[in-house]
A and B are shown apart, each in its own frame.
Chain A
């Protein structure tokens, strides 16, 4: 069984640039959630994708967007990067669906630094 994988592991960008982070879900899982974890804090929910549609969104601006592909992998895109976007971005997959409360399993994260 393959776990959740994320790429890249580390990334350095400049303020105003755009970034794409990638996530492959655990085999058999159909739902992907993204979280932002600032240094020294707990993760904050960005959004979730189920069947290629956004299924819930946290308190993040529209410049945070995502995609889910037919193979259930996902991308997180952030436009117009700001210094405060520097964080660990975590992807989690689950075998869930609309209103299904299933355990989320996390990938190792992508550390983004915005200069």
Chain B
């Protein structure tokens, strides 16, 4: 079974600065996808970014980028130019070969301070 670990329960960052959230995972599969989701206080889980394991290039979406280290099974999220609206819980998630389920980490609560 796959496991996803987020070792930082809480983090804070000043507005306009850069922050990196960590995620490690364990799997024996070779073909998988990794995701970062954001869950603000409104509760709705919002997709931030997605990475296909077969792609060597790190995914980027505007201010959000990942550092995908396949051999180390590490998938960190970098948020540049942090904004107050980035305050939320961030979840790292894994989708394996079956393609039918997401395995989530425990989450990191990010607070962006003015």
Q: State the A residues within 8 Å of B (CB).
A: 31, 33, 35, 41-45, 48, 50, 55-56, 58, 88, 90, 92, 96, 98-109, 111
Q: How many residues of B contact A (CB 8 A)?
A: 27
Q: State the B residues within 8 Å of A (CB).
A: 4, 31-33, 35, 37, 42-47, 50, 91, 93, 95, 97-107
**3 tightest Cβ-Cβ pairs between the two chains A and B:** A42-B104, A106-B45, A56-B100
Q: Given A33-B100, A99-B98: A108 and B107 within 8 A (CB)?
A: no
Q: Given A43-B91, A101-B95, A103-B35: A109 and B104 within 8 A (CB)?
A: no
Measured CB to CB, the closest approach of chain B to A28, in angstroms, equals: 16
Measured CB to CB, the closest approach of chain B to A6, in angstroms, equals: 10
Q: Are A96 and B44 in contact (CB under 8 A)?
A: no
A106 to B105, CA, bound (A): 16
Q: Are A96 and B99 in contact (CB under 8 A)?
A: yes
Q: Are B45 and A48 in contact (CB under 8 A)?
A: no
Q: Which residues of A contact B104 (CB under 8 A)?
A: 42-44
Measured CB to CB, the closest approach of chain B to A34, in angstroms, equals: 10
Q: Which residues of B contact A88 (CB under 8 A)?
A: 43
Q: Are A108 and B102 in contact (CB under 8 A)?
A: no
